[in-house]
Structure 1
Amino acid sequence: MMTALLIGLGAAAQGITGMGFGLLCAPVLIESFGAAEGVRQVVLLSLLLNLLFLSREFRLVRPVSALGLLLPALVVTPFLKTVLKQADPRLLLLVAGSLTVGSAGFLAFGLRLPWLRGAVGAGVAGVVSAAMNVAGGLAGPAVALYAVNTSWPPQAVRPTLQCYGALLNTVTLLSLGFPTLHASQLGALVIGSCVGLLTVNRMPRTIAQRVVLALAGAGGVLVMVRALT
């Protein structure tokens, strides 16, 4: 029940802010299904959301920006998969929880790093995003930070993140393999997506993002405690 609820909330958050699904759902899915299967589920569910929301706003995508982030991510994804496959599952839980908490904190404080702009910033963001996606299904935070640092137009942030996420998640799934999804997960995804589409123009994005980050931080802490105990 809790898993389905968080999937619904994550889907709604993704529709409103352009990110948030992985932050909310990765900790509980990894905890429930194990590190490898949990990450695959997060990536596949995220891909379905990327495609759904991108279909509505594809005209606003910044293709050059998305491609600049994607190319370095594609280069390192197969290598990361090989390295992380040999890691201790408890370590992956700890890494996923730590990345969730750290990403939520950085985004909450609106971290800006002027030197992480242009081609260098895109390369760093793409590599970090790919690593976080393979380790914990968290592709969004690194590229969201890059979008903030480079001052993307607000109307382009959500569709460009969806475009980048769709491409990276496809490659990640081809590398990690496809998971088994449950009917309750897909149902929650559909309901949450509908809520996000209906409220995207009604709820202030700043409020929605604060709620997402607070829940994500709490979920990440729980996963870290579980990994350590």
Structure 2
Amino acid sequence: MNSVLVVLMVGLGALAQGSTGMGFGLLCAPFLIGSYGPAEGVRQVVLLSLVLNAVFLGSEARSARGRDALGLLLPALLVAPLLTLWLRPLDPRVLLVVAGSLTTGSAAVLALGWQPSWLRGWVGAVGAGIVSAAMNVAGGLAGPAAALYAVGAGWPTASVRPTLQLYGLGLNIVTLLSLGLPPLCPPLLAGLVGGVLAGLLLARRLPQRLVRQAILALAALGGVLVVLRGVG
């Protein structure tokens, strides 16, 4: 896959994360996995996501809801190492199809505006945490399940972004401990820095509806491309 395109998608993913509180994995995971392969691609996604979590949480830490983040994080932490061991022996092509399918399906669910009422309470938190951990290990996609829970549980709008960053920070640390720390690629880091700066500058100016639609469209396209790569 074209390296310039991959770096560009990392930058756009960082911009999306800064604008909405999620979207980095949805947007760039298919391209990183397609470029680096399933195992290394997921590790790169998780590492870069962790950096973003720390940067964006630092600017909004006071608005984060620690109890809500912990309610998602505890079940996710319990299952993440087990999921890593279960997925490791699988054929890499299977992981490509899984990661791409999760990306496309998550984008479709979010695009439809699904707001399931059953997500409220501890049952929803446990379920969302487990699904989020599974998606993070398979494709670096912790955000969608957590975001669906945040919407269904009725989190205040101002707290959604920082709380998701706090949750993602904890989950990504544990996921990296399970998967192993990858080498940081300088071009990817450069794309990340560019996206972070743009996100900090434009987060309050860009129409959120337009940004969201663009994220989901690109995420769905990237997921389809990775599925085709896995079955090809």
Q: Tell me the TM-score range normalised by the shorter chain.
A: over 0.9
Aligned-partner Cα distance in 2 for 1:205–1:49? 19
Q: Which of 74, 80, 93 does residue 71 from structure 1 map onto?
A: 74
Deviations for 1:10-58, whole angstroms, at most 9, x for unmatched residues? Answer: 0000000001100011101111111000000000000000000000000
Which residue is 2:132 aligned to? 129
Give the equivalent residue in structure 1 for 2:99: 96
How big is each residue's C-alpha offset from its partner over 1:43-83, in whole Å with a ceiling of 9 and x where there is no partner?
A: 00000000000000000001110000000000001100100
Aligned position for 2:113: 110
The 8 Å contact of residues 117 and 150 in structure 1, kept in 2 or not, is answered as yes
State the partner residue of 1:143. 146
**C-alpha separation between the residues in 1 aligned to 2:137 and 2:151?**
23
Structure 1 residue corresponding to 2:184, chosen from 181, 186, 196:
181
Matches within 5 A, 1:48-59: 48-59=51-62
RMSD, matched Cα? 0.6
1: distance between equivalents of 2:20 and 2:119? Answer: 22
Q: Equivalent residue for 2:122?
A: 119
Offset at 1:138? 0.2
Partners in 1 of 2:23 and 2:70 — Cα distance? 21
Hey, what's the Cα distance between the residues in 2 that align with 1:144 and 1:36?
Answer: 25
The corresponding residue for 1:196 is 199
TM-score normalized by the length of structure 1: 0.99
Aligned partner of 1:7: which letter?
V
Identify the match of residue 48 of structure 2 among 40, 45, 48.
Answer: 45
Structure 1 counterpart SS, 2:117: coil
1:110–1:148 CA contact under 8 A, matched in 2? no
Report how many residues are paired: 229
Q: Does structure 1 residue 12 correspond to structure 2 residue 12?
A: no
1:32 corresponds to which letter in structure 2? S
Give 2:226's aligned amino acid: V
Q: Does 1:28 align with 2:31?
A: yes
The whole-number CA distance in structure 1 between the counterparts of 2:210 and 2:66 is 28
2:84 paired with 1:84: no
**How many angstroms apart in 2 are the aligned matches of 1:177 and 1:130?**
16
Q: Which one of 151, 166, 172 corresponds to residue 169 of structure 1? A: 172
Q: Which runs of 4+ in 1 moved over 4 A?
A: none
Unaligned runs of 5+ in 2: none
- List runs of 5+ in structure 1 lacking aligned partners: none
Q: Deviations over 1:177-217 (max 9, x none)?
A: 01122111101100110000000110122211111000000
Equivalent AA in structure 2 for residue 163 of structure 1 = L
Q: Distance in 2 between matches of 1:207 and 1:165?
A: 24
Residue identity in the other structure for 2:123:
V
